[in-house]
Amino acid sequence: MLLQAFIVCASLALAFAAPFHNYTRCANQYNSTQLQALEAQYTQDLAAAEASGSLQRITTPSTLSGGSSLVCRPIQVAWHIIYESETVQGGYMSDKAVQDSIDALNGHYRGTEFRFLLDRTTRTKNKTWFNDVDGDSPLQDDMKKQLHVGDARTLNVYTVNFPTAKSLGYAPYPQFYAQAPWNDGVVIKHSSVPGGAAVGFNQGKTLTHEVGHWLGLLHVFNEDGKCVDWDFVSDTPVQSTWTEGCPTSKDSCDGLPGEDSIHNFMDYSMDVCLTEFTPGQIARMHAQSDLYRKISRGFCPWDWPFLG
Q: What DSSP letter does each residue of 178-232 carry, written as one string?
A: TT-GGG-SEEEEGGGSTT-SSTTS-SSHHHHHHHHHHTTPPPSS-TTS-SS--SS
> How far does CA 225 lie from the centroid of its chain?
22
Residue 232 gets the label, from left (phi > 0), alpha (psi -120 to 50) or beta, of: left
Query: Residue 19 has what pLDDT?
Result: 38
**Cα radius of gyration (the chain):** 19
Taking the C-alpha atoms of residue 109 and residue 98, their distance in angstroms, rounded to an integer, is 17
Helix, strand, or coil (residue 120): strand
The pTM (predicted TM-score) of the whole model is 0.89
Contact indicator for 76, 153 with CB cutoff of 8 Å: yes
Q: Characterize the bridge pairing of strands 7-10 and 167-171.
A: antiparallel
Taking the C-alpha atoms of residue 222 and residue 232, their distance in angstroms, rounded to an integer, is 11
Amino acid at 258: G
Amino acid at 181: P
Which among 208, 205, 169 is positioned nearest to 187, based on CA atoms? 169
In DSSP terms, 286 is beta-bridged to: none
Taking the C-alpha atoms of residue 118 and residue 100, their distance in angstroms, rounded to an integer, is 11
Active site residue 50: no
Neighbouring C-alpha atoms within 13 Å toward the C-beta of 92 = 8
The active-site residue out of 113, 210, 223, 244 is 210
> How far does CA 194 lie from the centroid of its chain?
15
Contact indicator for 15, 182 with CB cutoff of 8 Å: no
Q: Give the chain's domains with CATH numbers.
A: 7-13+20-27+66-219+286-294 (3.40.390.10)
Which among 13, 165, 148 is positioned nearest to 82, based on CA atoms? 148
Helix, strand, or coil (residue 169): strand
Q: Characterize the bridge pairing of strands 298-301 and 167-171.
A: unpaired
Tell me the pLDDT of the chain (308 aa) as tens digits. 334 444 445 433 233 333 343 345 664 567 888 889 999 999 999 999 989 887 766 444 343 334 445 789 999 999 999 999 999 999 999 999 999 999 999 999 999 999 999 999 999 999 999 999 988 889 999 999 999 999 999 999 999 998 765 789 999 999 999 999 999 999 999 999 999 999 999 999 999 999 999 999 999 999 889 998 889 999 999 999 999 999 999 999 999 999 999 999 999 999 999 999 999 999 999 999 999 999 988 877 766 655 44
